[in-house]
């Protein structure tokens, strides 16, 4: 009981200190007032805080003790007990006690976070008990997530004149990027995929969407990166099979005949050469959304100490939305755009790039020059993506062992630089490669993969 009374008294002291500085410290008030909510306070402090907010909103300055007393006298928000308590503590609230500004801001932010979590937990209990007037249990994850995200963001914009030095530093900073092992993709992205981005491959059925993602996932793993591959189209083992073919240099149709000791030995050799990990997670088609992926990331961090550097989602159109359900009044444009926005938000939240894919329309499938208008189901997807490119195949390209890449949208570089280029493709080993001769359409008897500049990363894993 004594401990409880001590905690209550401590909270009242913090509330009074924060309220005092909001009322008497103009700089502090302008920093924290946008982030502090009335329901963080209790009792008379909540009502006093509301009165402060009203005064500042109306006059854009702090009240004097006299003007604040008049506002309290005229307010109808106080009952007799609260009014008496307010008059009693008002001299202390308008006191001139100085505190360290950095400590005060940190303490206020921590107090706001604690109060937000406390309020969210209490509201969650009322929802679970069925006593909440409007929210259901489906609102619990969003409720707790918002509480955990409370923080003081003091950045209110970039001042073009005053922040010129920051802008200069930005121009010359080396942005962290996830590099490809394909030369032209590094060229069009200025060295790789930046964090907090959504990157989309557009292709028809069977052209190579999953092959592209498996190849890039294998390349990232070989460079020591942690990779999470989420699949809703194929089983986990099928994705692993493709990555085996890619990294170990074993054709897909020979994987079943390889002995267990040989497969184990090759994977162990690979493990010794990289510090990265690759996790493949399967969800039923159309059943998983950004909230499921967020929970998976948190679970992997907790249980396996695994934090990915790059996420693949195979593929966007068969995800579900965390905000809306398919059918009813929701059309495909709105649904797919919502999914794209949620995935891009996930990339921003976890500070990493996400790579996914989408289908072409029926007309785009047979087109040799697809555009953004050939995106299946929703034009809202290219509006949200940071990088979008089409993979194009034809009988001629297949005979050359190549696939054409056409840039459709690029926020990293000039879209017209290398707008179209070709890369080699080895479907038996699920690999892509830099085709040095591809632009001239030259083909020789050298095995296709051996023409690649990146072949070195596979040399140690060839079939014996």
Q: What is the pLDDT of residues 355-396, one digit of tens each?
A: 999 988 766 666 777 888 778 777 788 889 999 999 998 888
Residue 413 in this model has a pLDDT that exceeds 60: yes
For every residue of the chain, which 3-state class applies, written as one string? CHHHHHHHHHHHHHHHHHHHHHHHCHHHHHHHCCCCCHHHCCHHHHHHHHHHHHHHHHHCCCCCHHHHHHHHHHCCCCCHHHHHHHHHHHHHHCCCCCCCHHHHHHHHHHHHHHHHHHHHHHHHHHHHCCCCCCCCHHHHHHHHHHHHCCCCCCCCCCCCCCCHHHHHHHHHCCCCEECCCCHHHHHHCCCCEECCEEEEEEECCCCCHHHHHHHHHHHHHHCCCCEEEEECCCCHHHHHHHHHHHHHCCCHHHHHHCCHHHHHHHHHHHHHHCCCCEEEEECCCCCCCHHHHHHHHHHHHHHHCCCCCEEEEECHHHCCCCCCCCECCECHHHHHHHHHHHHHHHHHHHCCEEEEEEEECHHHHCCCCCCHHHECCCCHHHHHCCEEEEEECCHHHHHHCEEEEEEEEECCCCCCCCCEEEEEEECCCCEEECCCCHHHCCCCCCCHHHHCHHHHHHHHHCCC
Output the CA–CA distances (angstroms, integers) from residue 155 to 31, 56, 159, in the order listed: 10, 21, 11
Model confidence at 135: pLDDT above 80: no
Average pLDDT, the chain: 84
Walk me through the domains of the chain, giving residue ranges and CATH numbers: 2-148 (1.10.860), 177-461 (3.40.50.300)
Tokens of 221: 């793993």
pLDDT at 286 over 60: yes
Query: Does residue 438 register a pLDDT over 60?
Result: no
pLDDT at 463: 42
pLDDT (0 to 100) of residue 329: 73
pLDDT band at residue 6, thresholds of 50, 70 and 90?
Answer: low
Which pLDDT score, from 0 to 100, does residue 452 have? 41
Residue 420 has pLDDT above 50, yes or no: yes
Q: How confident is the model at residue 1 (pLDDT cuts 50, 70, 90)?
A: low
- Residue pLDDT, tens place only, 213-269: 999 999 999 999 999 999 998 899 999 999 999 999 889 888 888 899 999 999 999
pLDDT number for residue 343: 94
Is 52's pLDDT higher than 50?
A: yes
Mean pLDDT of 48-73: 90
pLDDT tens-digit profile of 166-188?
888 877 776 788 999 999 999 99
Please report the pLDDT score of residue 326 as a whole number.
67
Give mean pLDDT, residues 416-429: 90
Residue 56, pLDDT > 50, answer yes
Q: Is the pLDDT of residue 159 over 60?
A: yes
More confident of the two residues 332 and 220: 220
pLDDT digits (tens, 9 = 90+) for 98-117: 788 889 888 998 999 999 99
Q: How confident is the model at residue 11 (pLDDT cuts 50, 70, 90)?
A: low
Query: Does the pLDDT at position 437 exceed 60?
Result: no
The pTM (predicted TM-score) of the whole model is 0.65
Lowest mean pLDDT among 3-12, 31-40, 89-98, 345-354: 3-12
What pLDDT score was predicted for residue 458?
A: 46
Percent of the chain with pLDDT over 90: 39
């Amino acid at each position: 009981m004594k401990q409880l009374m001590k905690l209550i008294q401590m909270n009242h002291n913090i509330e009074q200190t924060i309220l005092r500085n909001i009322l008497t410290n103009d700089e502090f008030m302008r920093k924290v007032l946008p982030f502090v909510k009335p329901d963080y306070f209790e009792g008379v402090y909540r009502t006093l805080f509301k009165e402060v907010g009203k005064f500042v909103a109306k006059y854009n300055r702090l009240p004097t003790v006299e003007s604040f007393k008049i506002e309290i006298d005229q307010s109808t928000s106080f009952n007799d007990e609260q009014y008496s308590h307010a008059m009693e503590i008002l001299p202390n609230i308008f006191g001139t006690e100085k505190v360290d500004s950095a400590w005060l801001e940190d303490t206020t932010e921590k107090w706001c976070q604690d109060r937000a979590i406390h309020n969210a937990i209490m509201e969650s209990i009322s929802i679970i008990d069925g006593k909440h007037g409007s929210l259901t249990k489906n609102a619990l994850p969003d409720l707790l997530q918002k509480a955990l995200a409370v923080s003081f963001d003091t950045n209110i914009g970039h001042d073009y004149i005053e922040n010129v030095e920051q802008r200069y530093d930005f121009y010359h900073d080396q942005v962290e990027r996830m590099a490809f092992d394909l030369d032209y993709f590094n060229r069009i992205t200025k060295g790789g995929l930046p964090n907090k981005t959504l990157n989309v491959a557009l292709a028809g059925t069977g052209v190579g969407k999953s092959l592209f993602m498996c190849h890039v996932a294998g390349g990232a793993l070989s460079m020591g990166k942690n990779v999470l591959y989420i699949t809703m189209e194929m089983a986990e083992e099928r994705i692993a099979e493709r990555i085996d073919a890619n990294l170990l240099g074993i054709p897909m149709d020979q994987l079943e005949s390889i002995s267990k000791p040989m497969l184990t030995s090759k994977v162990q050799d690979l493990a010794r050469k990289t510090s990265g990990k690759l996790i493949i997670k399967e969800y039923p088609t159309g059943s998983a959304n950004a909230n499921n992926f967020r929970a998976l990331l948190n679970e992997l961090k907790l249980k396996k100490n695994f934090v990915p550097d790059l996420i693949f989602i195979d593929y966007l159109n068969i995800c579900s939305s965390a905000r809306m359900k398919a059918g009813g009044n929701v059309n495909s444009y709105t649904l797919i755009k919502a999914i794209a926005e949620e995935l891009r938000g996930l990339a921003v939240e976890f500070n990493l790039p996400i790579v996914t894919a989408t289908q072409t329309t029926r007309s785009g499938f047979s087109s040799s020059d697809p555009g953004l208008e050939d995106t299946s189901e929703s034009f809202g997807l290219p509006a949200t993506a940071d990088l979008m490119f089409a993979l194009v195949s034809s009988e001629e390209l297949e005979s050359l062992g190549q696939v054409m890449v056409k840039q459709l949208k690029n926020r990293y570089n000039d879209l017209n630089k290398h707008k179209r280029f070709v890369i080699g493709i080895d479907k038996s080993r699920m690999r892509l490669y830099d085709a040095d001769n591809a632009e001239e359409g030259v083909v020789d008897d050298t095995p296709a993969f051996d023409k690649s500049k990146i072949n070195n990363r596979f040399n140690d894993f060839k079939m014996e």
